[in-house]
Structure 1
């Protein structure tokens, strides 16, 4: 089966009949939710399990048991510059696959299931493919859904960084893409495969090398790079690299492929009781560039202190005493904490070597144990600022041509066209005051804090 579906965003969101019937025809037998298979979510390069928060909520809102939804958190989520050469703080493709394999085995043991569904974003799809073909996953995986995975490379330039995991002409991807049958399919059974991609808005599936620091150089990769011959290949217009997995449209396609049914809802259903938990993690130092000080890892930041406050939705001011004060231990866990459903929250993280980081979030509709938090460091260029406020969108990018967004009352400056940035920063003056971010209807409001005293503010969009 090699199906390409070009489905309009509106059709996905409204579950258009044509798209639903077409994809349902390609899907497998529909299990009852009592038999819902465990799903293991695999995040992308440099990311965390926390990005799957809203996707898990959408599955739960359609009756999927919470205990059968598992998002892995790779300790060192960044790939090596050259996969064959050890690099501190980074994982090889083989190490990444081994970690996924171990997590799948844990889930099978905990649930008693014989197989899992794997859903991966970007580099997570590399680990999924590697596990299925080289790690025994062909026996333990029923469905594999790859969102925005650069299956044919972020670049495919002969002789250019071919040792990198993302080189389309390098040994890693060439091995995965080797024909599996006489038809030349790049996937094979018994696993059922689906890819999700953007029509042209994925920064890592572009014909020009702009996003890899090679502007004007052909990458020999097109928007169709994430597709795999023999898979069900879904195309959703205008979505960006992360939205290939974390958007409502991607959820709908994923749910339908697994179950053969259209989900009852893509909106997130509220719970009466909301209990939150997660890890506090830190930032390593990149051995290749120690001055950056912002090297992603998902290791617990033992000894970090966390305070949590409810806030006023209009002003961002704290609405009372702290809901939680805790020094996290060696596991990094900061909860559990019961919070008022739908009420906005301020998380304050303090740790040696970091700025005191104020993370403002809009209200939580449901419980989650992957509310992972990370303190920031102040860049040298920002040290003279009165305050530092960043709009951040972990589950997608910012596209001025597509998105309606405001930061402190104006359109954020310096955001490049083409969905290439996930954050926008300002340095407001005027003392402690209210500051808000808006993104496609979601509004997050906080307070400014003095940078001179080591504070930074993050206004985090949940969608």
Structure 2
């Protein structure tokens, strides 16, 4: 099933109010969350290639704000989230489709055990949808009531007759196996796909978005759709937003619960407890393996200047499990997380207020200072983990200017970098995306320090 463009645009037209409500809701303590209900099946969220479970935090908060109990949800954190170049050949720090199927199967069993439910709903972003389909097709259908695939390249990022063992090849062995037959879904599980109306960088006819400009990919914007599924087009959202945007949340909730959500805005809690995992990038490869011996300090900062308000609210050192926290904070406080991890730059991560508690506030150090940074007195990165920067679609400003390293057109960039001379070390830098505004401080690169303004929305 496809929705008309007019219907989709009518839904998108309500977003300015919804997004404004998200920001205002942090300060408003009067609207209680819906009373928890057990009508909705337990939900397991599945992240994509190179990602981690923390990306689902706003979705988890919205679910909680609609009465879904926190203990009836989970988000998997794949050990090695990056795919192999060849699915059949071992590659350090990377996972095969079988590795992902095995880990997801175990996570489903654990959620069923904890909740006593016979079936669970699965929600996947991008590559996460591959793992979901793989589990369901290969014996797991009886455990899964709903499967929601958000921006999953179900017919490949490209479709060619070479690279037959690349899992992102629509003509490769893996996807041919998932898509064979008249229907591309497994009976007994309700399937929903969510896709972009042309702004998904992994569903483009031209290969320039995968490093092959001018070469046809063999796929189109319709690539994420599946024969036999309910297929919805969410308008001008990008590859990540079709999973993490408020518009996506509405469809995810409605498909699982069978009704509209009571609210889209996140309902704040009076007191917030935060904790998470410290991970790293050994050899330049993103993994979700815990890092021991990292120190984490959390500070309250002035939202207008980025300056610290007093000493650390929390300080801890990670053990073998890589966990930090918990830190008790107020839902109206802007925060600075200082991560000192072995063999990595000291990273100052600035965040907007956290409206609700979370145990997936994961911290990963910034990339090492490189040749491009050699003359910089300070390096400040603006990061958007749950979406890409789209120009001219979005308001994207770093230190009062549109970042030069964000390309216009189809959104492809989730980070922008500002390099400052030594004379400007210590001043405040404003990172603005839409209505979310974070003020960071420029720390001296000479001390192997990098600042990140990490957006929540």
Instruction: Give your verdict on TM over 0.5.
Output: yes
CA contact 1:42–1:71 (8 Å) conserved in 2:
yes
Shift of 1:34: 2.6
Distance apart, 1:195 and its partner CA: 0.2
SS in 2 for 1:277: strand
Contact kept? 1:390, 1:457, Cα under 8 Å: yes
The answer for the alignment partner of 1:425 in structure 2 is 417
Give the conservation status (yes or no) of the 8 Å contact 1:4–1:232: no
Q: What's the counterpart of residue 50 of structure 1? A: 54
For 2:317 and 2:358, the matched residues in 1 are separated by 20
Aligned to 2:323: 333
The answer to whether the aligner puts 1:438 opposite 2:441 as a matched pair is: no
Partners of 1:296 and 1:356 lie apart in 2 by: 17
Secondary structure of the equivalent of 2:133? helix
Taking structure 2 as the reference length, the TM-score comes to 0.93
SS at match of 1:326: strand
Aligned-partner Cα distance in 2 for 1:357–1:255? 35
Deviations 1:181-233 (A, max 9, x none): xxx22113210000000010000000000121111000010000000011000
Structure 1 residue ranges (4+ consecutive) displaced by more than 3 angstroms after TM superposition: 2-7, 12-15
CA drift at 1:10: 4.7
| 1:214 alignment partner in structure 2 | 212
Deviation at 1:13, TM superposition (A): 6.6
Aligned length: 432
- Does the Cα contact within 8 Å between 1:9 and 1:249 map onto a contact in 2? no
Query: Structure 2: any 5+ residue segments left out of the alignment?
Result: 16-35
- Counterpart of 1:29 in structure 2 is none
In the other structure, the counterpart of 1:454 is 448
Q: Work out the CA distance in 2 between the residues paired with 1:162 and 1:208.
A: 20
Residue equivalent to 2:8: 8
Measured against aligned partners, the alpha-carbon deviations of 1:302-351 in whole angstroms (never above 9, x if no partner) come to: 00011110000100000111011111111111011111112100000012
In the other structure, the counterpart of 1:173 is 175
In the alignment, is residue 89 of structure 1 matched against residue 93 of structure 2? yes
Partner of 1:257: 255
1:359 matched to which residue of 2?
349
Unmatched 5+ residue regions in structure 1?
Answer: 16-31, 286-293
Q: Is 1:158 matched up with 2:158?
A: no
User: CA separation in 2, counterparts of 1:162 and 1:378?
Assistant: 37
User: Which string of whole-angstrom CA distances, capped at 9 and with x for unpartnered residues, describes residues 124-160 of structure 1?
Assistant: 00000000001x220100000000000000001222x
Alpha-carbon distance in 1 for matches of 2:113, 2:453: 39
Deviations 1:280-300 (A, max 9, x none): 111111xxxxxxxx2100011
Which residue does 1:22 correspond to in 2?
A: none
1:240 alignment partner, one of 227, 238, 241? 238
Query: Do residues 98 (structure 1) and 102 (structure 2) align?
Result: yes
The match for 2:288 is 298
**SS class of match (1:33):** coil
TM (normalized to structure 1)?
0.91
The yes-or-no answer on 1:122 pairing with 2:122 is: no
Deviation at 1:8, TM superposition (A): 2.4
Is residue 271–residue 341 contact of structure 1 (8 Å, CA) maintained in 2? yes
Q: Structure 1 residues 314 and 334, CA, compared in 2 at 3 Å: closer, same or farther? A: same
Q: Please tell me the root mean square deviation across aligned C-alpha atoms, in Å.
A: 1.3
